[in-house]
């Protein structure tokens, strides 16, 4: 989304600090996940809805390791000021969409929430063509459904909206 800063003067320790804090928070949540979620059911943990957050948090921890490394060995020539590409308007909007996606999953279900999130996110990021705006979210949603519901057998409850409509 933003060009990578090749020049050390355009990099910022603030950006690395934020990434490191997010990674440490993700590691804390990942470590505490067995105590936060009931895993006493008959199925193993990887067949429940906990598997997707574990994968996402693990990726966040791994992605933050380079930032932690740069903070630990940083030199004085890398400033603490934000670089010219550091105002992440689109990133903030995608974060809000991600939060809305997480809230929508119990209400709309995994499939519909994923389809809406991917479609709107691609629109926000500037992908306007029908192939990227419609076909890609449909393919990704189908892949998500295939991997989690069919191959892994992960159980997702019936969406609350469907329960309300069925009554």
- Tell me how crowded residue 99 is: count the other CB atoms within 10 A of its CB: 10
> Average pLDDT, whole number, for the chain?
80
Please tell me the predicted confidence (pLDDT) of residue 38: 66
Please tell me the predicted confidence (pLDDT) of residue 130: 82
Ranges of each domain in the chain: 9-87, 89-167
Give the confidence band of 84 by pLDDT, cuts at 50, 70, 90.
Answer: low
Please tell me the predicted confidence (pLDDT) of residue 6: 47
Asked if 12 and 67 count as a contact pair (C-beta separation under 8 A), the reply is no
Structure confidence by residue, pLDDT tens digits, 49-72: 677 778 888 888 999 999 899 888
* HEC assignment per residue over the chain: CCCCCCCHHHCCHHHHHHHHHHHHHHHHHHHHHHHHCCCCCCCCHHHCCCHHHHHHHHHHHHHHHHHHHHHHCCCCCCCCCCCCCCCCHHHHHHHHHHHHHHHHHHHHCHHHHHHHHHHHHHHHCCCCCHHHHHHHHHHHHHHHHHHHHHHCCCCCCCCHHHHHHHC
Asked if 83 and 10 count as a contact pair (C-beta separation under 8 A), the reply is yes
Structure confidence by residue, pLDDT tens digits, 102-158: 888 889 988 899 999 999 999 988 888 888 888 999 999 999 889 888 887 777 778
Asked if 92 and 52 count as a contact pair (C-beta separation under 8 A), the reply is no
């Amino acid at each position: 989304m933003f060009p990578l800063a090749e020049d050390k003067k355009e990099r910022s320790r603030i950006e690395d600090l934020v990434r490191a804090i997010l990674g440490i928070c993700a590691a804390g949540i990942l470590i505490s996940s067995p105590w936060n979620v009931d895993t006493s059911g008959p199925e193993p943990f990887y067949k429940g809805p906990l598997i997707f957050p574990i994968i996402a948090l693990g990726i966040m921890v791994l992605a933050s390791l380079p930032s932690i490394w740069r903070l630990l060995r940083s030199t004085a020539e890398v400033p603490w000021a934000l670089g010219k590409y550091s105002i992440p308007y689109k990133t903030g909007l995608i974060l809000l969409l991600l939060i809305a996606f997480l809230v929508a999953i119990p209400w709309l279900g995994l499939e519909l929430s994923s389809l809406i999130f991917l479609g709107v996110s691609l629109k926000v990021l500037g992908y306007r063509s029908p192939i990227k705006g419609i076909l890609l979210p449909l393919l990704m949603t189908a892949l998500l459904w295939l991997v989690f519901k069919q191959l892994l057998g992960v159980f997702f409850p019936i969406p609350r909206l469907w329960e309300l409509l069925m009554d």
